[in-house]
Structure 1
Amino acid sequence: MKYFVELAISAVMAANKNIATEIFVVDNCSTDGSVAFLQQRFPSIQVIANKENVGFSAANNQAIRISSGEYVLLLNPDTVVAEDTFEKCIAFMEQHPDAGGLGVRMIDGTGAFLPESKRAFPGPAVAFYKAFGLSGLFPKSKVFGAYHLGFLDEKANHPVDVLAGAFMMMRRKVLDHTGLLDEHFFMYGEDIDLSYRIRQSGHTNYYLADAPIIHFKGESTKKGSLNYVQMFYNAMKIFAGKHFSGNNRGIFVALINLAIYLRAGIAVLTRIFNRWGVVLLDIILIFFSMLLVKEYWEYYVRYIDGGTYPPSYLYINIPLYTFLWIVSIYFSGGYDKGATVARILRGLLWGTILIAAAYGFFPDSLRFSRGMIVAGAAVSGAVLLLARLITHFIQTGNIRFGEQALKRIIIVAEESEANAVYQLLDKGGYSLHILGFAGEPGSGKHPMRHLGKATDIISLTHIYQPGELIFVAGELTYKQIIEKMDMLAGKTDFKLVVPGGSAIVGSNSKNTAGDLYLSTIYSLGHAYNLRLKRLIDVIMSLFILLTAPVQWLLVRHPLQLMKNAWAVLRGKCTWVGYASPPADILSEGLPQIPQGVLSADLLVEQRASATPDPLVLDRIYAREYQPAHDLLTIFRLYRLLGRRGNSHG
């Protein structure tokens, strides 16, 4: 994400004022317009733009080969260094001639210490304890916690085995001896391999505790994902193949293979539970609610004098009703984060309407009672809401289910910068409660309350209990920001922004890809709207394919229309999309959707002699998107549905 890189480079440039440095950014074929953005924002840096993702090792080697400094630093794009980080590191290296490489104490976006800041080599025993979770259960143990060296004080300097690739400073003369990063490691494991070779060359790797940095984490791969499990443990197998021999290699590889299956299984189950757990629970609750309705209807309504419904009701009707209700709740946004009561009830209502509409097409053997359908919907709705209420109460301690409590914000900046952040949040339409700002007051014309000095943010946090602090670099130095985050870890969330920046960045979890406040919220980017857009595409495609003979009379180029319908059905394109080329969409940061058959500029061309800038129309389309807009565009331009799309030729 280019805004994390912007923050990282801004911090680096603040840290190199007294040091002659070269700054290289290697872009591994990013898709968010990072190259043009960085070249314009930082014209003095050297950007290497790869046409494909060549991997972490190869990308870093590209920059190392053309660099000329006495020291080489590998730095992740989701990091923030302090103003004195480089000076401290170089001074330490100069004081320790045996040092071949140096790592630092890292905290994540929540201020918590990252244990991978210091690690041991993953021998068979160490790998076993990590793979099977013993290192997590006993992090301070010299035996079980050896991988992250949890028994060593994180606030003290130590010789260590492994440096973290997120911040890895090395002497060039040592690299000349050991060689560069091994490009067999695509991602993960390359830092362990190079650290091992540095040690083998007779040098020492050090962990420097008093030069902390922020490493937001998750910008490359989600650590809880199946992809991470596969890449990390396969990297360990490459490492074993290079450096272990005999029985050690066999034992290590066997343990790694076992760990891959174990961790992959856990990752898959966790992902299924996190994504579908609520859905599975709702299926069970609706099914048993319908069973209760069936029992009641049998004994008190339909078969008062004896008798039961046939098994087909249990094995066909109830599963079908359950499926339609679940699908309707899903498309109504009932499973989105922060879903309201209205969305769940709306889903049940639409599901009931679908069932009622389909009921007339059922054979007589499957038509039992419309009253049972209505009663089932009512009972299911009550049970689902009760379950949601109980879950919400357990998680939050309150019963305000569906309400989104406004996050309480303190902006840490001088007044003009605090005002700029306030305007960015307001323009973006974020629902936040700005408590005020902590920093140097200015004219006092802004309605935000002045809470105190930026340097007093620790005490202000205890007083006002904000849910989040937004730091603007300038009022506090990067070093001070890192110190405050370290001291307030676990007490609040954090975001950072460079002065004049167009995005506020942070990460509330080391396992996520980061959090952003942007100056514009695009309605098209909401999961609910994307889901409805896809539903419109599928229904429209099926309608066209099923009525193909009629379409030949209605649409120009009917053969191409059939190709378009098939491409949309497969998700290769969408009926209504952007007017601008994909590269412009990426650079602008608009929500990503497939190439469209139709676009807003076609409507404008029919009404006006001069067509506005397509990118302007695309911004409006993304910002103000509603599913009805797509339906209206399709209706008005129906005869053009057979035009050739760009994504499926």
Structure 2
Amino acid sequence: MKVSVVIVSYKVPYHLMLCLTSLQKATTGIKTEIIVIDNASNDQTHMLILKYFPNVKYIQNQTNDGFSKANNIAIHQALGEYICLVNPDTILSETCIKSVIEKHQSIKNCGILGLRLIDGTGHFLPESKINTLTLKVAALKMLGFSKHYYNNNISEQGEGQTATLVGAFMCFKKQDYEQLQGLDEDYFMYGEDIDLSYQFIKKGFQNYYLGSEKIIHFKGESTLRDKIYFKRFFDSVKLFFRKHYSNSKLMIGLVSVFFHVAKYFKKIKMAKKEKTEINFNSVYLFSDDILLIENLKPLFNQEVKLLNNVERHQKKFENDLIIFDPSVSSYLEIIDFMIKQRRGNNLFRFIIPQSNILIGSDSSTSQARVMTF
């Protein structure tokens, strides 16, 4: 077995369907097993996998014990030479798995290899490559200054060494992972990817960012706007310092001061924040299925315009909503189109194959919306 793809799922059945559909194409020709481990979602996840993805290995946890523990259970059972950790709210291009394996094999002492993450509007997610977490970096991050947190020495489309990679997509050798402590189960959510990246570096490996390959990650980092995330980030920082730094007590004391200062200003900022309604001019459907038009029309209370392949590439889109039918376009083509059109303030939706579900996200900080037509 060459690759084991591990996905931890929790109450995102339709996001998972879209992810698995893209994964089937991304692993074509590669000896792969896909393992989905569900953290007690108690929803239709298992039923949908049985119906549409019978070849997926499914593990049902009885309780939600967090991201790290679920991954460790699945990795222990995995048979692949390589492990790819993939979030359920991602869409993979057809070339990404093959490319990251080939790149990983070409790099001496490669630990974790990550790739370029794109949000639901086609914009780059800077957390695709992160610097080492230090007191200065953590303090500035909580105060809203992320310049030193992200690795800006590598361009969006470039490649090179980086200290930290994000858990939305990680590729590493199973035998290398087994030399480490592994994903620390003291981290329930947030911080475990930073910790694992650091473990690989301490063991003498180098982590690597590959910007030529990209995937969509609907739920981008919340940039500490959400108060729950804000607290969890702070708790993860404390745990990381306690584990990896000898002067952790002093560092935790100092970062605590920054946390309380930042929390005060964050509270004021959030109180002033107004909700804005999402508007768009026209709705376009990229499909060959004309019957979809009438089914989609009630969702938007306006005409849905069908565009053929030539028209899609000739038209300039501005403040429009674009619906992709993956049965007529490759995921790589769709992702490239989104990147090309990202400056036009457009919105994007995906039809999940074999369903009447649309999924899309309208910012780097919002979870993908599910719509039934």
Return the TM-score normalized by structure 2.
0.90
Deviations 1:50-98 (A, max 9, x none): 2221111011111111101000011011001110100100110111132
Partners of 1:216 and 1:510 within 8 A in 2: yes
Residue of structure 2 equivalent to 1:269: 268
Identify the residue that residue 92 of structure 1 maps to in structure 2.
Answer: 103
1:45 to 45, 56, 59: 56
Q: Is contact 1:161-1:196 (8 Å) kept?
A: yes
Distance 1:110 1:132 in 2: 26
| 1:410 matched residue in structure 2 | 284
Matched residue of 1:125: which SS?
A: helix
Matched, 1:123 2:125: no
Hey, what does 2:312 align to over in structure 1?
457
Alignment of 1:23-34 (within 5 A): 23-34=34-45
CA contact (8 A) 1:409 1:466 kept: no
Distance 2:319 2:126 in 1: 27
Matched length = 361
Counterpart of 1:201 in structure 2 is: 203
Greater fraction of residues in helix = 1
Secondary structure of 1:133's partner? Answer: coil
Deviation per CA, 1:126-155, whole angstroms, max 9, x where unpaired?
A: 2222222333xxxxxxxxx23101242111
Q: Choose from 469, 476, 499 the match for 2:329.
A: 476
> Superposed, which structure 2 residues align to 1:165-184 within 5 Å?
165-184=167-186
Residue 467 in 1 paired to residue 339 in 2? no
Distance, in Å, in 1 between the alignment partners of 2:222 and 2:111 is: 28
Output the amino acid matched with 1:436. K
Distance 1:126 1:70, change over 3 A: same
Matched, 1:494 2:337: no
Which ranges of structure 1 fall in alignment gaps of 5 or more residues? 136-144, 278-336, 339-403, 440-452, 520-649
Q: Distance in 2 between matches of 1:158 and 1:166?
A: 19
1:257: Cα distance to partner? Answer: 1.4
Partner of 2:118: 107
The higher-RCO structure (CA 8 Å, 6+ apart) is: 2
Equivalent AA in structure 1 for residue 314 of structure 2: S
Q: Is the 8 A contact 2:115 2:209 kept in 1?
A: yes
Contact 1:28–1:51 (8 Å) recurs in 2: yes
Q: Distance in 1 between matches of 2:155 and 2:222?
A: 28
Instruction: Provide the residue aligned with 1:149 in structure 2.
Output: 151
**CA distance, structure 2, for counterparts of residue 159 and residue 432 of structure 1:** 49
CA contact (8 A) 2:242 2:249 kept: no
Q: Is the 8 A contact 2:40 2:64 kept in 1?
A: yes
User: 1:61 is matched by which residue type in structure 2?
Assistant: N
Contact kept? 2:130, 2:163, Cα under 8 Å: yes
The structural deviation recorded for 1:266 is 3.8
2:358 counterpart of 1:504: yes
Higher strand share: 2
3-state secondary structure, aligned to 1:177? coil
- Distance 1:155-1:61 versus aligned 2 partners, 3 A rule: same
Task: Specify the SS of the correspondent of 1:433.
Answer: coil
Q: 1:424 and 2:278 equivalent?
A: no
Q: Which has the larger radius of gyration?
A: 1
Partner AA of 2:16 in structure 1: V
Give the aligned partner of residue 72 of structure 1.
83
Code of the residue aligned with 1:196 in structure 2: it is: Y
Residue in 2 that maps onto 1:433: 302
Does the CA contact (< 8 Å) of 1:425 and 1:517 recur in 2?
no
Deviation, 1:407, is: 4.4
Question: Matches of 1:155 and 1:432 in 2, distance apart?
Answer: 39
Deviations 1:12-57 (A, max 9, x none): 0111111111111111122442222222221111122222211110
Tell me if structure 2 keeps the 8 A contact 1:217–1:512: yes
TM-score, normalised by the number of residues in structure 1: 0.53
CA drift of 1:125 comes to: 2.0
Question: Are the aligned partners of 2:280 and 2:319 in contact in 1 as well (CA < 8 Å)?
Answer: no
- Preserved contact between residue 155 and residue 210 of structure 1 (Cα < 8 Å): yes
Partner of 1:315: none
What RMSD, in angstroms, separates the aligned Cα atoms of the two structures?
2.2
Stretches of 4+ moved more than 6 A in 1?
Answer: none
| Residues 35 and 258 (structure 1), Cα distance of their counterparts in 2 relative to 1, 3 Å cut | farther
Q: CA deviation at 1:435?
A: 4.7
160, 163, 166: which one aligns with 1:164: 166
CA shift, 1:191, in A, is: 0.5
Q: How has the CA–CA distance of structure 1 residues 469 and 149 changed in structure 2, closer, same or farther, with 3 Å as cutoff?
A: same
| d(CA) in 2 for partners of 1:405, 1:113 | 22
The runs of 5 or more residues in structure 2 that have no matched partner are: 1-11
CA separation of 1:87 and 1:472: change in aligned 2, threshold 3 A: same
SS at match of 1:103: strand
Going from structure 1 to structure 2, the CA distance change for 1:31 and 1:408 (only over 3 Å counts) comes to farther
C-alpha separation in 1, matches of 2:183 and 2:231: 20
Q: 1:566-618, CA deviations, whole angstroms, 9 ceiling, x for partnerless residues?
A: xxxxxxxxxxxxxxxxxxxxxxxxxxxxxxxxxxxxxxxxxxxxxxxxxxxxx
Given the superposition, is the C-alpha separation of residues 41 and 267 from structure 1 closer, same or farther in structure 2, using an over 3 Å criterion? farther
